Chain A
């Protein structure tokens, strides 16, 4: 236990400043998004039914996405450890690769927890101010975005720990960037197909971007995003990504210099 305390302390100390800046950024975003409700909708909650829900949904999605990106993004420790020489020094310390990897995941989850709670707090505040409930949408969105960002971090960590030279690192990064772009294109197409949306800028009768059927399908998707089932799925995805993250980290700690 003492060992984990030491490892976590080291990481928290190293990431503290970075996350405090992110936290300020996150809180400012939250405040900015809350402004209209603090000023307007709160005056006339009766008027804030359907429109307020749409606006709130967008706000909470924006904030959940911001929180998820900030929580899942790479914390810079691996690079800093390589630059300072700690990565090499860590091999002569008694901490096992598993223990070091667990500490890394714990710190990641700790910061994710902070941003998750704040995102949920934002949704709770919205509920209090407008009466619209987007709590599950926010939590689920946060979990999904955190998982997606963590996937990028997993790939980055794997690349940095696998590359044997600067040249190889550049090659791996280029391949990964190409892969990410291709994945993004594929996922957008899949989403388009699922929602049945039109191409950007194209309008249907009456000037709307979506047909009635498409709108209905999109609302169904939004409803599903705010369901308990989705919470389970999102939590499962995040847990799986965390497990992969742990394995990649353990492998990075086990791996010796060439």
Chain B
């Protein structure tokens, strides 16, 4: 097995569609890390995930998963990864028992004991047809299948979207357990930033096909801040410090990308910490500069 530092390496990947381009994107997901992949709907999260899983061909660039080329070593990679989509991709007529029979032949490391444990933990019936499962049960079931073959990389595309907070919390807890041995990694795309704030070590932010930010979540949150001031004071703030400005009835909220520096430069202004949600919102409006 190849030794690798990064579970995922994406270098200069471009994929062109009519009306949308995934534009020369690059980022890494280090081994043992949960990477939150955020961006609004249509930003390019799913295209990136489909590209790295070779569901779609890329126009240029290089993708390596677990140290291997994502096209040349496709079969070897796919034995060692697991994928969870936003919708259950299994036929309604199958039962959990049927799916075990299907997967045990596909994955050399499929473990029926672990699979049964997850089914019991999620209280999923073994003999009931999948079509009769609720949305929450379907997602739990997909996760149970994904976690039962000792995958080293788990890729999830909006897997927690549409689930109630209790189920989401339960699932996030399981992901944390899954990562405990330090050899496994997760790439989790979501636009529910609160989930990622809870569990992600790193965050990559994509917008309109371009990567705007990538790095450790705590550093990103620490670096950014929301400076509150009167609308008249906006002109005094250096344009270089500003991501974008949100105007409201009480004045302006300016996102700065270097909170420490801004706190020295604009001593008389209050600078609040920013959440991932704030960062996403202000970056999305970066070209308008002023918005409300």
Interface residues of A (CB under 8 A from B): 2-7, 9-10, 13-14, 80-81, 84-86, 88-89, 91-96, 256-258
Interface centre among A3, A4, A14, A84 (most CB of B within 10 A): A84
> In chain B between 216 and 233, which residues have their CB closer than 8 angstroms to a CB of chain A?
none
With contacts A2-B104, A6-B104 taken as known, whether A91 is within 8 angstroms of B91 at the C-beta atoms is no
What residue of chain A has the Cβ atom nearest to residue B87's Cβ? A85
User: Does B180 belong to the interface (CB within 8 Å)?
Assistant: no
Are A85 and B103 closer than 8 Å at their CB atoms? Answer: no
Are B101 and A92 closer than 8 Å at their CB atoms? Answer: no
Closest chain B CB from A78 CB (angstroms): 13
On chain B, the residues within 8 Å of A13 by CB distance are 93-94, 98
What residue of chain B has the Cβ atom nearest to residue A77's Cβ? B91
What residue of chain B has the Cβ atom nearest to residue A2's Cβ? B105
Closest chain A CB from B125 CB (angstroms): 18
What residue of chain A has the Cβ atom nearest to residue B86's Cβ? A85
Among the listed A80, A96, A256, which residue makes an inter-chain contact with B55, where contact means beta carbons less than 8 Å apart? Answer: A256
With contacts A89-B85, A92-B53 taken as known, whether A6 is within 8 angstroms of B90 at the C-beta atoms is no
CA distance A258 to B15 in the complex (A): 10
What residue of chain A has the Cβ atom nearest to residue B98's Cβ? A13
On chain A, the residues within 8 Å of B93 by CB distance are 13-14
**Could you count the A-B residue pairs with CB atoms below 8 Å apart for me: how many are there?**
71
CA distance A219 to B159 in the complex (A): 67
Are B103 and A6 closer than 8 Å at their CB atoms? Answer: yes
Per-position 1/0 for B96-116, Cβ under 8 A of A: 001001111111000000000
User: Does B246 belong to the interface (CB within 8 Å)?
Assistant: no
Are A94 and B79 closer than 8 Å at their CB atoms? Answer: yes
18 contacts between A and B (CB under 8 A): A2-B104, A3-B105, A13-B94, A81-B91, A84-B89, A84-B90, A84-B91, A88-B89, A89-B90, A91-B54, A92-B78, A94-B79, A94-B106, A95-B106, A96-B75, A256-B57, A258-B17, A258-B56
CA distance A91 to B85 in the complex (A): 12
With contacts A13-B98, A86-B90, A89-B85 taken as known, whether A5 is within 8 angstroms of B53 at the C-beta atoms is no
